[in-house]
Amino acid sequence: MLPVAPRVGGRLLVLNSDEHVRVRKGQVLARLEDTDVKSNIAQLQANAVFAKNDLDRYARLHRENAIAVQIYDRALASWEAAAAAVRQAKAQAGYMTLLAPADCEVIQRDGEIGQYIAANVPIFWLSCHPQLRISALADEEDVSLLHPGQAVLIRADAFPRRVFQSRVTEITPKGDAIGRSYRVRIELPADTPLQIGMTTESNIIVRKNDRAILVPAKAVAADHVWRIANGMAVWTPVVSGAKDNDWVEIVDGLKANDTLLIDGNAKPGRQPKFRLTEP
């Protein structure tokens, strides 16, 4: 997404585009009221003309050695300052017109004609990427397992009963040193119902195990589980594999028909049990 916002505040005077409209680079999207800016330019230009006339007069006297050089230098500085003020005002006038920075589609438009828009407040949000994609964050410990082409399973709160399939297209080479993560790009097909701004959960498939043993994440504590054997709870070490917020894969230490206490941090007692079954 690319925001388009005015660099200076002003009242919205013209709106030339709206949502779902494709725009071309350099196309005028909107204009802010610039009456005050134009009046200021006229005043500054008059000051610049006056300063230039003074400079020309003092330059002639300077050539004739009729005035001190300091007087000429002061007139030159005054004219240069006046000319710079005119250039700055004209640049500010240019900021009152918002142009499309590239060939894009307008995906959100805020503001109405007559409304005052503060500086740096976006009026338009543009989508300039030809294909929708998901930007996800992967922990730096998992980056070595990722590569373009891997399958991805995607869930979204907007479609709670659906799972979307996609693939990894890119892992950015620079990570976030503070968050200790890397950005992963995931492509979306053209007919996806997912929309820009939606929150998704992306699960990248790094390996497959059709007979994996999965246990509730809260049943594992300090690489141990409470396993029920002969009516007793046994503190059993395990080796974990893939995991998410809800489930943990047990690579070693359990069998498919073992029964566990659900809360690995609790002491064994009258708490619910979880029985493993064959996949």
* pLDDT tens string 217-268: 999 998 999 999 888 889 999 999 888 788 899 999 998 889 998 886 766 6
Q: What's the fold here for domain 2-126? A: OB fold (Dihydrolipoamide Acetyltransferase, E2P) (2.40.50)
Give the architecture (CATH level 2) of 213-275.
Beta Barrel (2.40)
**Per-residue pLDDT at 53:** 92
Q: Find the distance separating the first CA and the last CA of the chain, reported in whole Å.
A: 43
- Write down the H helix ranges in 139-255: none
Task: Dump pLDDT digits (tens) for 44-99.
Answer: 999 999 999 989 998 988 888 888 889 889 999 999 999 999 998 888 888 888 99
- Domain positions in the chain: 2-126, 133-204, 213-275
Contact residues for 278 (Cβ-Cβ < 8 A; gap 6+): 211, 256, 257
**Per-residue pLDDT at 92:** 82
133-204 is a CATH 2.40.30.170 domain:
yes
Instruction: Decide if pLDDT at 279 tops 50.
Output: no
Q: Do 260 and 228 meet the contact criterion of CB atoms below 8 Å apart?
A: yes
Task: Dump pLDDT digits (tens) for 4-25.
Answer: 998 888 899 999 999 989 999 9
Q: Do 96 and 6 meet the contact criterion of CB atoms below 8 Å apart?
A: yes
Which residue type sits at 169? T
Residue among 162, 171, 271, 175 at smallest CA distance from 226: 271
User: Quick one: average pLDDT of 34-38?
Assistant: 83
Q: Do 29 and 124 meet the contact criterion of CB atoms below 8 Å apart?
A: yes
> CA–CA separation, 85 vs 41, rounded Å?
9
> CA–CA separation, 163 vs 160, rounded Å?
8
- For the whole model, what pTM was predicted? 0.55
